């Protein structure tokens, strides 16, 4: 039970993973009124958090933070991990945004499912400290799973939380969490990791290319980096060539009809190609030939390719360029 006569309210960062779930349940078991917040960008979704909320009954706030996230991502003070992942500055930003919600909605403190030492870069004692200092809410962030191994927080000092009832987990083993999950009757939870595209080399390389060649980018362009083969035809022109039916559908879903050009085979099965922001006739003609090269068209046959853009629709008659002849454009 809570040590306070008034209802204690806590707002937690939720990734939807087991650690997030356990942190919320541990506090709820003490009598704390728990809510979660999860943040969405094209790099990570709220899907796991929504499922965790549904399974536990812990209310969830979902916020899209793409614009503010991009500002941090272009120049993170702590730099990147192995790829384009700015883990420490990402966590600091999320706690800062969660702290603003905490103040608006009058929660007493923030919490997360972080476990000291579980991740060698972002969950060391010093990196947890960095995140707290740069969040703007120093002392107000409780990490229930590792509480016994970390400095006493303000909510513990004020008796809002009973420290002796909190665990002291540390290190990379998942066994303590799995044992606690069993205790709570939690059986349905996702495997750890894998939720952030910024840790993926392929996605990160495409994102770097976008940052290098454009000053501004719409949210749909960040989604498009997930699909197809990406070719840089010249400094001003990129195309994305669908690999699968799903790629083709997503390319159409995320294209901007007022700016982008869509290229497709007229009568033969083949990829959908998007040319973001369009370009000159020579580049469109090259993209049309690449489209034919990746289609089921017999070699050296002239075929119709449909080109749809802001200026309307036209048909280009062309032969294909084989994929091995354009691989130097491939990112």
Summarised one tens digit per residue, pLDDT across range 288-328 is 999 999 999 877 899 999 999 999 999 999 999 999 999 99
Residue 121, pLDDT score: 64
CATH architecture of 9-196: 3-Layer(aba) Sandwich (3.40)
Give, as one character, the DSSP assignment of residue 83: S
Tokens encoding 145:
């799973």
Residue 205, pLDDT score: 97
Rounded to an integer, the average pLDDT of 189-202 is 86
Residue 157, pLDDT score: 97
Residue 194, pLDDT score: 67
Rounded to an integer, the average pLDDT of 96-109 is 98
Q: What does pLDDT average to over the chain? A: 94
Residue owning tokens 């497709």: 264
Residue 298, pLDDT score: 77
Give the range among 48-57, 122-131, 232-241, 285-294 with minimum mean pLDDT: 122-131
Residue 122, pLDDT score: 66
Residues in a beta bridge with 116: 170
Residue 189, pLDDT score: 86
Give, as one character, the DSSP assignment of residue 227: S
Report whether 147 contacts 128 (CB < 8 A).
Answer: no
Rounded to an integer, the average pLDDT of 57-86 is 96
Q: Is 167 left (phi over 0), alpha (psi -120 to 50) or beta?
A: beta
Q: Give CA–CA dist 19/112, Å, rounded.
A: 8
Residue 309, pLDDT score: 96
Tokens encoding 288:
């049309």
Give the three-class secondary structure for 296.
Answer: coil
Residue 6, pLDDT score: 77
Residues in a beta bridge with 108: none
Q: Give CA–CA dist 273/288, Å, rounded.
A: 8
Residue owning tokens 């103040």: 103
Residue 297, pLDDT score: 87
pLDDT at 80 over 60: yes
Pairing of strands 60-64, 229-234: unpaired
Residue 300, pLDDT score: 80
Report the predicted TM-score, pTM, of the whole model to 2 decimal places: 0.91
Domains in the chain: boundaries: 9-196, 200-329
Within 8 A by CB and 6+ apart from 162, the residues are 3, 30
Q: Give CA–CA dist 204/197, Å, rounded.
A: 8
Query: Residue 21 phi/psi, 5° resolution?
Result: -60, -50
Q: Give CA–CA dist 45/234, Å, rounded.
A: 32
Residues in a beta bridge with 316: 305
Give the range among 99-108, 134-143, 168-177 with minimum mean pLDDT: 168-177
Q: Count each helix (H run) and each strand (E run) in the chain, helices first.
A: 11, 11
Residues in the chain: 331
Of the candidates 222, 266, 228, 231, the residue with the CA atom closest to the CA atom of residue 248: 228
Half-sphere exposure of 103 (CA within 13 A, CB side): 8
Residue 1, pLDDT score: 43
Residue 2, pLDDT score: 44
């Amino acid at each position: 039970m809570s040590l306070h006569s008034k209802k204690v309210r806590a707002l937690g960062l939720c990734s939807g993973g087991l650690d997030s779930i356990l942190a919320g349940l541990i506090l709820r078991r003490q009598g704390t009124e728990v809510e979660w917040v999860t943040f969405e960008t094209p790099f990570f979704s709220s899907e796991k958090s929504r499922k965790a909320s549904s399974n536990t009954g812990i209310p969830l706030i979902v916020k899209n933070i793409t614009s503010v996230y991009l500002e941090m991502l272009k120049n993170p003070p702590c730099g990147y991990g192995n790829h384009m992942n700015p883990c420490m500055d990402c966590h600091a930003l999320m706690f800062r945004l969660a702290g603003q919600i905490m103040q608006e909605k009058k929660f007493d403190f923030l919490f997360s499912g972080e476990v000291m030492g579980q991740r060698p870069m972002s969950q060391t004692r010093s990196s947890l400290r960095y995140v707290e200092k740069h969040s703007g809410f120093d002392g107000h962030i409780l990490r229930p799973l590792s509480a016994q191994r970390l400095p006493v927080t303000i909510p513990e000092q004020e008796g809002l939380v009973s420290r002796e009832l909190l665990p002291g987990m540390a290190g990379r083993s998942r066994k303590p969490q799995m044992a606690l999950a069993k205790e709570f009757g939690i059986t349905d939870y996702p495997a750890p990791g894998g939720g952030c595209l910024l840790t993926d080399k392929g996605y990160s390389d495409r994102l770097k290319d976008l940052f290098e060649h454009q000053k501004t980018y719409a949210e749909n362009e960040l989604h498009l980096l997930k699909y197809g083969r990406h070719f840089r035809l010249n400094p001003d022109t990129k195309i994305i060539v669908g690999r699968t039916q799903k790629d083709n559908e997503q390319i159409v879903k995320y294209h901007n009809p007022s700016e982008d050009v869509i290229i497709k085979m007229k009568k033969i099965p083949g990829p959908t190609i998007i040319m973001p922001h369009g370009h000159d006739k020579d580049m469109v003609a090259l993209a049309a030939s690449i489209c034919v090269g990746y289609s089921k068209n017999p070699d050296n046959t002239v075929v119709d390719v449909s080109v749809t853009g802001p200026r309307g629709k036209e048909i280009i008659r062309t032969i294909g360029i084989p994929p091995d002849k354009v691989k130097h454009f491939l990112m």
